[in-house]
Amino acid sequence: MKKYNFYSGPAMLPQGVFEQASKAVLELDNIGMSLIEISHRSKEFISVLEEAKQHVKDLLQLDDDQQVLFMQGGASMQFCMIPYNLLNEHETAAYLETGVWAKKAIKEAKMFGNVQVVASSSDQNFNFIPKDYVVPSSAPYFHLTTNNTIYGSQLHVIPEVGVPMIADMSSDIFSRPVEGKKFDMIYAGAQKNMGTAGVTLVVIRESLLGKVKRPIPTILDYRTHIKEGSLFNTPCTFAIYVSMLTLRWIKKMGGLEVMKKLNEEKAIKLYNEIDSNPLFKGVIAKEDRSQMNVTFTINRPELEEAFANAAKDAGCIGIKGHRSVGGFRASIYNAMPMEGIDVLTGVMKDFALKNG
């Protein structure tokens, strides 16, 4: 039986990427050595790194001042690196609070300066995206999270705020067209739409740096990684290679417009089943529903375990909701095929017929 990975991450990848990556572990491009044993400063790996960077630049339509870095530590490391590099003690950064990951970013920023939460949906268990807020013009930056993996909400319109804008795009990067020039910094863990776990993409405008007065440890200074071309310390060579293959696949498929179309079609089909099925209910305001992480509950809680088992028996793996919110969550990133959605909606229909 074919299995479909609905986990929030690490996510499924295109089959061709799996195949090419597995071959490279044995031998990279007929060089007589494995990808995972060659030097990160070898011409073979530098070629991989530069191709990956170029794909990012092309897909996000970046300009010359925006540097592409491949780093470690996940998005969680960026939560502290951002204020460490960009926020002076006397300044107040602006944050939009739309979920757990935004809350974690806010907590870290408070260690380095002041934070103003310009809007929050916490009082409604993060079931919508706030829209009416003002970002102070004095803020050194405004931080937002474009997609909320746990709750299943997503920013569908990027605001105009008048100050440098930083976006955590960990769970929806490369799922739709993004005007990269609008952002002064973008960061994302690779393990959703870009590759395997272990590497974090950072896009940062170089002119944003060098303005804080505090000393910054060498490895935590973005300028170090720009100067060294993401090679200050040994990078996650395998994870970068898989990211390069995945970005190459996105381009081959037709780019981000095609990704957007495919993701919209998958999300519409799944949400239509949730809305029409008498057993299930969506939990996010319809205008803010995520096209990456579809969250829903069952109207008869005593059937929750039975439905989870039925989905698992059909090959739908990982649909249990995050422990902090419960219910169900189907993560349908770029590589999830429509047939996976068909299998899951089929289980939902059958389960409702048997338990209606």
Query: Residue 293 maps to which CATH number?
Result: 3.90.1150.10
Are 171 and 270 within one domain? no
The per-residue pLDDT for 325 is 83
Q: What is the pLDDT of residues 155-184, one digit of tens each?
A: 999 999 999 999 999 999 999 999 999 999
Name the band, by pLDDT with cuts 50, 70 and 90, for residue 248: very high
Whole-prediction pTM: 0.96
Q: Which of 53, 172, 184, 192 is catalytic?
A: 192
Three-class secondary structure assignment of 143-199: EEECEECCCCEECCCCCCCCCCEEEECCCCCCCCCCCHHHCCEEEEECCCCCCCCCC
Are 281 and 329 within one domain? yes
Q: Which of 53, 168, 172, 288 is catalytic?
A: 168
Q: Which of 253, 279, 297 is the last residue of a domain?
A: 253
pLDDT at 326 over 90: no
Are 123 and 226 within one domain? yes
Are 200 and 292 within one domain? no
Q: State which amino acid sits at residue 266.
A: K
| Segments forming the whole domain that contains residue 230 | 15-253
pLDDT at 356 over 80: no
Q: Which of 101, 184, 221, 266 is catalytic?
A: 101
The number of folded domains in the chain is 2
Nearest to 217 by CA among 201, 233, 197: 233
| Location of structure tokens 């013009």 | 137
249 given a catalytic annotation: no
312 given a catalytic annotation: no
168 given a catalytic annotation: yes
> Which string of b and e fits 154-169 if b means at least 16 CB within 10 Å?
bbeeeeebebbbbbbb
Are 65 and 211 within one domain? yes
Are 270 and 312 within one domain? yes
